[in-house]
Amino acid sequence: MTLAIDVEGLSKSFDGKTVVRDLTLKVARGQIYGFLGPNGSGKTTSIRMLCGLLVPDSGHGTCLGYDVILETTEIKRHIGYMTQKFGLYEDLTIQENLQFTARVFGLDRRNGRVNEALERLGLGHHRNQLAGSLSGGWKQRLALAACLLHEPQLLLLDEPTAGVDPKARRDFWDQIHAMAAQGITVLVSTHYMDEAERCHEIVYIADGRLLTHGPIKQVIAEAGLTTWAVSAKSDGARVAELSRELSGRPGIDAVAAFGAGLHVGGRDAAALDRAIATYRDDPMLIWHRTEPNLEDVFIDLVARAEIEQRAS
């Protein structure tokens, strides 16, 4: 396995507050890594340190074979960074934006690169349209096209599909997987569970600490959760009432709404069974064991991180 990123013990503080603590991670080339976690958890800071865009206070490692502290200029030549907010010129056309970006990078074959990017992202027929008149999905395509002009080996995508419609999101992910198949490594931060499931591996960060990472099935298995699904036979209000009653009971680590019912989870199966025993005798409630999913795991991780943060 060839590694695109291999770092150990990266930490970063701002104004005396530690934002990322002791981050150690290996990322294989041609893989899509999804970074998840609450707002302010350190996802973006972590990604920027991994790729030499932000110098860590401590730790060491390499990105694309270059030292993340000593060779940041070389790293930057080989990465494409797409921010959440559209950062191109809305009063220029699609083609003009790409030509301008190519000049800023000092690229050779500028016209050829622009035409290749237009065709690759399906923008060719819209090349003369002003960027400001584009929908969110088409702006996203333009921003990605600009990231690819210099043929990067690594893409950094910071919540790239926020505010984009479902079809545009699906098309975007099809493009990302096609790029990964060509050997481009992708680091993407997202809040969407369905997008996380499209990644080869996921990384979950809370309070600046990496809590878990790996392939989806591995992350779910390692969480060690037992999950019950419960719904009411007729009274929807009973579900909301039940959520309040179950939350915080010994043996119950997470309660979350799923459709018209709830998922109730715990890491100690026996304790969880005791906690819900009385409620399972309620003839108005329907209970059944279910396999935990990625959202169950993340809800549990958030709850655990909040408890640890309050205790520290």
Q: Which tens digits make up the pLDDT trace of 98-117? A: 999 999 889 999 999 999 99
- Phi–psi pair at 82, nearest 5 degrees: -115, 115
Shared-domain flag, residues 190 and 248:
no
Shared-domain flag, residues 132 and 252:
no
pTM given for the model: 0.85
**Mean pLDDT, rounded, of the chain:** 89
Q: What is the CATH number of the domain that holds 68?
A: 3.40.50.300
Shared-domain flag, residues 160 and 293:
no
Shared-domain flag, residues 118 and 264:
no
- DSSP assignments along 115-161, one per residue: HHHHHHTT-GGGTTSBGGGS-HHHHHHHHHHHHHTT--SEEEEESTT
Q: Pick from 168, 199, 214: which residue ends a domain?
A: 214
Digit-coded pLDDT (tens) for 120-147: 888 888 899 999 998 888 888 899 999 9
Residue 38 has pLDDT above 90, yes or no: no
Count the domains in the chain.
2
Shared-domain flag, residues 170 and 274:
no
Shared-domain flag, residues 163 and 254:
no
Digit-coded pLDDT (tens) for 42-75: 888 998 898 888 999 999 999 999 999 999 999 9
Quick one: which of 119, 118, 126 has its CA closest to 99?
118
Q: Are strands 201-206 and 32-36 parallel, antiparallel or unpaired?
A: parallel
Shared-domain flag, residues 142 and 277:
no
Can you say whether residue 65 is alpha, beta or left, with left for phi > 0 and alpha for psi between -120 and 50 degrees?
left
Most confident of 2-6, 38-42, 83-87: 2-6
Range of the domain at 274: 221-311
Shared-domain flag, residues 184 and 245:
no
Q: What is the CATH number of the domain that holds 268?
A: 3.30.70.920
What's the pLDDT score for residue 1?
A: 64
What's the pLDDT score for residue 158?
A: 85
Q: Pick from 214, 243, 272: which residue ends a domain?
A: 214
